[in-house]
Amino acid sequence: MAKNKSLSSSTSSSSTSAQASTITTRSSSATPSKLVLKIKTNGGMKRSMQQTNSRAKPKATQKKSKQKIDAKKPKKPPTAFFYFLEDFRKGFQDQNPDVKSMRDVGKACGEKWKTMTYDEKVQYYDIATEKRAEFDRAMAEYEKKMESGEYDESNDESELDE
């Protein structure tokens, strides 16, 4: 009985925005007593969910205008992994002719790349750094020509018409 009274006193001190439900219990003395339980509503939870949902909504984005692609601008070279992928793909397809999915080839290649040591990867890093140096030189040359005005839109149109 003392347990029930302490429960009711602790629950009666809960928040004022609660719903009450009545439970009838029988004690050993056979006198019915009422125990009032207060259950918190999820009003506060609803409010916090509304706040998180309002944050989750993306703001309206403006459409990005498409930039003109300059055909004369040098393209960035591939990374060392892509040079490895090129070599790996040939050998993998010879060993597994039944695998046609690029997804499976890519997964196998990625797993192999992760297990390779740095010494095994060095040859691909060397190729990539050479190509990157060529790209940097070509880009510097391109920027010089752009500053001097050699690449002009009128020149592009006249070349296409010929």
Confidence at residue 8, expressed as pLDDT on a 0 to 100 scale: 46
Cα→Cα distances 39→10, 12, 15, 49, Å? 12, 10, 9, 20
Residue 48, in any domain of the structure: no
Boundaries of domain holding 9: 1-40
Could you tell me the pTM of the whole model?
0.50
Q: Is 89 exposed, middle or buried (0-12, 13-18, 19+ CB in 10 A)?
A: middle
Residue 49 has pLDDT above 70, yes or no: no
Please state the rounded mean pLDDT for residues 107-136. 95
For residue 18, pLDDT beyond 60:
no
Residue 8 is assigned to a structural domain of this protein: yes
Structurally, the chain folds into a number of domains equal to: 2
How far is residue 92's CA from residue 97's CA, in Å, rounded to a whole number? 8
| One domain, residues 87 and 36 | no
